[in-house]
Structure 1
């Protein structure tokens, strides 16, 4: 069977785009692992923040917020960005960055929201709109949507090579397939997939990010916010009964791989945490690492390749791929199908995220 669209990668990027396309096209979703979402999607810190990713990502996040809320995927949390007196310039720049965007931010004393916060942490910006995301259900619902609309998902089907004449001939570990359009939604493997298809890479760089689950004394109080350093050296969020997830906010450039946490990064995160609050760490329950992949300008890429117009990029989502997925998938599907953006994402600018901006 020849498909209209074959998508390499069934993480959140590929699954959400496939779900948007499947009602209008014959869609094949190819996953290299034995289950979708094994890498970045399954290791997400799982929160939705309008400021995360910066002001050029924020329109995608904000547009996705209403769609996520409508599906019941969000739960209130709030976020607090904190700094020391010496970081006043960073706080001011952060507030200025989002002025006029509609994102609600207010300067507060962080001690009002974080019991046990050490005295030197005097600066805070409250972002009340930040919420938890039910990542597992969101991803599963996209995959179910693909199947319901007649799309096909094949796991353990990593792309080996592809060549195009009248259409794409795609060789995978699960067999050979044909499609008119080939979508690269391979995350950290985006550039290797492009090369395997005879398409020039964009310079998509994977980075390792470490996260751990802790039990602390005191435990995070009910209603505690997500907390992030304005200088980007840590964040944590409450998670379930008496636990928190902590990250050193690391970005370690690496090759695409099954990323694993390094003991040094775990130790760095704990040391930084202990310099912020006087809480005692009772137990390190779990640690993991995931890959975040960025284009050279750190914005996502959605659109047809400039030199191979039947090759479509859906990559470079960094750490904000899940929180932007609903709007990004609608935008990418409209571009791929040549349709007008629907009203839920009508204010987005597809050119901002087009691969044409790289001028290859």
Structure 2
């Protein structure tokens, strides 16, 4: 019998599976044809310790050593950009992110297309890094297989029930002692099938456009740009520029696609801060960032059934928190003492949602 059956083959499921495979046989079920098809495959792929609420920042900090030791990070940097009337908002974001204010001249040295007529504030962080997200996922999958487990695609869950153990029906039938719900935007659907109270997940769409290098510039050493209030960002990627309107529009679990009007509005906000107009969008797409009401992750056994384990609500923090989040899930699922402080464990616990 399987010890830990994991529903969801994105970063949440694969990372939890890798850690849990040290304690028993793991099987990961992914509904789509490929791992990380939905949210994980559409990530901004950035590691920034200062990004997120307090519990997320703790997970970021605890994940850093794993990323650094395994050489998954490449220096990127981040420049926070504010308009001339956005001083108060700039100061708040700079404080939250740990960004150091710099002159517009210095900012233009990093990003030569910044518009001196519209940019009023700039700050820089050198602690932002690109994450090799594909290698991270594949390496977690390799750990699962190396430890005797399985990672299976095209395994859409059609039935789920509990006797003295979990029975999960796809095109096959799987039996397991423990069930890990890492189904992303679909975690509440899985919970309902299992007879477990949902956590109130809400998926939010976030769109993205890929643009040619503005002005023909070499973007390799450019930092990511982030508009204050997280109203847009622009990130170099393989010689192109990814621009997002950073929208957070609530939706339903589905294979997301970009909203043309929202994308156009976001590109206009980006254009306001730069000298090079957007003349062509090469491609666009969207992903889902799924949150519960308090905006932080849900990790650990459900209070009603300790064999039903949540690895959910990663929002926009899934990759950068994955190593520490997976370790916490494994610690709590196996009865080991968590490596994180008690306040953080409680802030991430499913128990908080059922009071």
Which TM-score band (shorter chain)? Answer: over 0.9
2:157 counterpart residue number: 159
Q: Residue 234 of structure 1: which of 217, 232, 235 is its match?
A: 232
CA-to-aligned-CA distance 1:213-241 (integer Å, 9 cap, x gap): 10121425442111111122100111122
1:302 counterpart residue number: 299
Q: Which runs of 5+ in 1 are unaligned?
A: 99-103
User: Is 2:175 the partner of 1:181?
Assistant: no
Cα separation, partners in 2 of 1:112 and 1:339, compared to 1, 3 Å: same
Q: Residue 351 of structure 2: which of 348, 356, 360 is its match?
A: 356
Contact (CA 8 Å) 1:82, 1:110: kept in 2 or not?
no
Contact (CA 8 Å) 1:111, 1:117: kept in 2 or not?
no
Q: Residue 324 of structure 1: which of 317, 321, 324 is its match?
A: 321
Alpha-carbon distance in structure 2 between the residues aligned to 1:46 and 1:351: 27
Alpha-carbon distance in structure 1 between the residues aligned to 2:125 and 2:2: 44
Q: Which runs of 5+ in 2 are unaligned?
A: none
Alpha-carbon shift at residue 96 of structure 1 (Å): 4.1
Q: Residue 272 of structure 1: which of 233, 256, 269 is its match?
A: 269
Alpha-carbon distance in structure 1 between the residues aligned to 2:341 and 2:19: 16
Alpha-carbon shift at residue 142 of structure 1 (Å): 0.6
Contact (CA 8 Å) 2:48, 2:127: kept in 1 or not?
yes
Alpha-carbon shift at residue 264 of structure 1 (Å): 1.3
Cα separation, partners in 2 of 1:111 and 1:293, compared to 1, 3 Å: farther
Contact (CA 8 Å) 1:27, 1:152: kept in 2 or not?
yes
After superposing the two structures, state which structure 1 stretch, 214-223 or 45-54, moved more: 214-223
For 1:133-148, what aligned pairs fall within 5 Å after superposition? 133-148=131-146
Alpha-carbon shift at residue 125 of structure 1 (Å): 2.4
Cα separation, partners in 2 of 1:110 and 1:50, compared to 1, 3 Å: farther
CA-to-aligned-CA distance 1:104-159 (integer Å, 9 cap, x gap): 53111244223232223211221110010111111111111110111112211122
1:109 counterpart residue number: 103
For 1:29-40, what aligned pairs fall within 5 Å after superposition? 29-40=28-39
Task: Give secondary structure in 1 for the equivalent of 2:282.
Answer: strand
Alpha-carbon distance in structure 2 between the residues aligned to 1:91 and 1:270: 20
Alpha-carbon shift at residue 348 of structure 1 (Å): 8.1
Alpha-carbon distance in structure 1 between the residues aligned to 2:104 and 2:306: 51
Contact (CA 8 Å) 1:161, 1:171: kept in 2 or not?
yes
The CA RMSD measured in Å over matched residues stands at 1.8
Cα separation, partners in 2 of 1:54 and 1:37, compared to 1, 3 Å: same
Task: Give secondary structure in 2 for the equivalent of 1:159.
Answer: coil
What TM-score results when the alignment is normalised by the length of structure 1?
A: 0.92
Cα separation, partners in 2 of 1:124 and 1:347, compared to 1, 3 Å: farther
What TM-score results when the alignment is normalised by the length of structure 2?
A: 0.93
1:4 counterpart residue number: 3
Task: Give secondary structure in 2 for the equivalent of 1:206.
Answer: strand
Give the structure with the higher percent helix.
2
Alpha-carbon distance in structure 1 between the residues aligned to 2:343 and 2:176: 29
1:338 counterpart residue number: 335
After superposing the two structures, state which structure 1 stretch, 10-19 or 108-117, moved more: 108-117
Contact (CA 8 Å) 1:23, 1:150: kept in 2 or not?
no
1:48 counterpart residue number: 47
Alpha-carbon shift at residue 282 of structure 1 (Å): 4.4
Contact (CA 8 Å) 1:116, 1:277: kept in 2 or not?
yes
